[in-house]
Amino acid sequence: MELKRIVLGVTGGVAAYKAAELARLLVKSGIDVQVVCTRAALHFVGAATFQALTGHPVFTDLWDERVDNGMAHIDLSRGADAIVVAPASADFLAKLVQGRADDLLSTLCLARDCPLLVAPAMNRQMWENPATARNLAQLLLDQVSVLGPDSGDQACGETGFGRMLEAEELIEAMVARFQPKRLNGLKVLVTAGPTYEAIDAVRGITNSSSGKMGYAVARAALEAGAEVTLISGPTCLTPPRAARVINILGAQEMLVAVEKEADNVDIFISVAAVADYYVLNPSEQKIKKDAHILTLELAPNPDILANISSRQKPPFCVGFAAESENLEEYAELKRRRKHLPLIVANDVKEAVGAEEVQLILLDETGRHVLQKADKLTQARRLISHVAQLYNTHYQ
């Protein structure tokens, strides 16, 4: 399901300022946003701010005369894909559990016919209070999606859980909520990024992989309901929030990490651009520059994917083939050599560092072209294909 229209509920709390940024980013993404505030929320962010950001008037009153039939509590949620309450105060969570409907926002939530998502925001002691814990447990039983909270510095000067997620994290979690759960209950292992092979204390051999494709695949697998472990080489990227992340540096370190995890996963997707060679005798100190030619002795790194796919009972293995020529020919040879059910071929000249890529999926049935799109879109398409193959041959 694609989010096209949401009702954004805003309750009273300092985190209401984040709701303004959330509204801005949602509108920027092409989503129609209707804001409904509690009266307390307007003490923190004015209605004019939300109206300017969304292009719609803000509603706060059950008896608003702008709704002709006096049914704002019904009309505002009809046609919406979801109601998202961010921030959701401790008081408002309690209202939802009790089924109270004493203002427009709580009445909207009670009279809705669409999913309800809440992003809690409160002081850490309020979050840790047994009453809040009971309310959250009941909301989950009532099929309300709870997004966050996070841990960190709070406006009260204390530190702990209760911070509302940042706007970007909320959007990621919202989108994930509506993706098809094709991998529900499965465990997925993803490698991403480059590896780094040391020459000396400050220099090394690496490549220009950004890690974006691997991180996108990890996020898409999470969206599809999988439990994801991401083994990442050095990148500047923020990993998906729900992924378990193992950071490594070199290929040997990645091999150890993959071998440790592979027995406990259903699917292994090897996206990382692993260096083919490592330096046999790296210097512990910085090599001083002089007029002589520096000669390095290189040895081949292990083939991580081949090591896993050749096991007696391997997980469902997916490889990536980044080639500069004879793309499909070399990719198919690699797939057959490593006994892979699926390999993803991409032109290295076009893919490395790019925001959009074309991918070609090669499996036992032939080739499947994924026309150029952003990497997250391609990752979702890939995960859909992986799920189809896995469910056909491994279930």
Is the pLDDT score of 69 beyond 60? no
Q: CATH number of 5-177: 3.60.10.10, 1.10.3720.10, 3.40.50.1950, 1.10.357.10?
A: 3.40.50.1950
Q: How far apart are the first and last CA of the chain?
A: 25
DSSP single-letter state for residue 308: H
What is the DSSP pairing of strand 116-120 with strand 316-323? unpaired
Q: What is the CATH number of domain 187-393?
A: 3.40.50.10300
Residue with tokens 């509603």, as numbered in its chain: 59
Residue ranges of the chain that CATH labels 3.40.50.10300 = 187-393
pLDDT of residue 74: 65
pLDDT reading at 66 higher than 80: no
pTM of the model: 0.85
**Is 109 among the residues known to form the active site?**
no
Evaluate whether 170 touches 86 at the Cβ level (below 8 Å). yes
Residues of the chain with CATH 3.40.50.1950: 5-177
- Averaged pLDDT for residues 128-157: 87
- Over residues 185-200, the pLDDT tens digits come to 999 999 999 999 999 8
- Residues pairing with 198 in the sheet: 204
Classified as helix, coil or strand, 210 is: coil
Lowest mean pLDDT among 54-68, 134-148, 378-392: 54-68
Q: Which of 108-112, 184-188, 246-250 has the lowest mean pLDDT?
A: 108-112
Phi, psi (degrees; rounded to nearest 5) at 149:
-85, -175
294 or 20, greater pLDDT: 20
Q: What values do phi and psi take at 213, rounded to 5?
A: -65, -45
Q: What percent of the chain has pLDDT over 70?
A: 93
Pick the catalytic residue from 37, 109, 156, 236.
156
In the chain, pLDDT over 90 holds for what percent of residues?
Answer: 66
Model confidence at 72, pLDDT cuts 50, 70, 90, reads low
Question: What's the confidence (pLDDT) of residue 151?
Answer: 76
Q: Is the separation of the CB atoms in 296 and 283 below 8 Å? A: no
